[in-house]
Structure 1
Amino acid sequence: MVEQVMVLAPKESARLDPDRLDALYSQLGPNAAEEVVCRAMEELAVRLGHIDQLFRKGSWEDMRKNTRALMAIAEQIGMMGLARVGGHVIDCIDDADGIALAATLSRLARLGEGSLTAIWDLQDLSI
Structure 2
Amino acid sequence: MLEMVAVLTQRETIELDSEKLVDLYRQLGDAAAEDVVCRAMEELALRLAHTEKLYRRHQRQEMRKSARLIVAIAEQVGMQLLAKVAIDVTVCIDHGDEAALAAVLSRLVRIGERSLTEVWDLQDLSI
TM-score, length-normalised on structure 2? 0.94
- Secondary structure of the residue aligned to 1:42 is helix
Q: Which residue of 1 aligns with 2:42?
A: 42
Q: Which residue of 1 aligns with 2:120?
A: 120
Q: Which residue of 2 aligns with 1:80?
A: 80
Q: Deviations over 1:106-125 (max 9, x none)?
A: 00000000000000001118
Question: Over aligned residues, Cα RMSD in angstroms?
Answer: 1.2
Q: Deviations over 1:86-122 (max 9, x none)?
A: 1111111111011110000000000000000000001
- CA shift at 1:3, angstroms? 4.2
Code of the residue aligned with 1:27 in structure 2: it is Q
Structure 1, unmatched stretches of 5+, are: none
Runs of 4 or more off by more than 4 Å in structure 1?
none
Q: 8 Å contact 1:18–1:78 — kept in the other structure?
A: yes
Aligned length: 125
Q: Which residue of 2 aligns with 1:69?
A: 69
Q: Which residue of 1 aligns with 2:23?
A: 23
Mapped partners of 1:19, 1:90: distance in 2 = 27
Structure 2, unmatched stretches of 5+, are: none
Sequence identity (%): 57
- CA shift at 1:4, angstroms? 3.2
TM-score, length-normalised on structure 1? 0.94
- Secondary structure of the residue aligned to 1:64 is helix
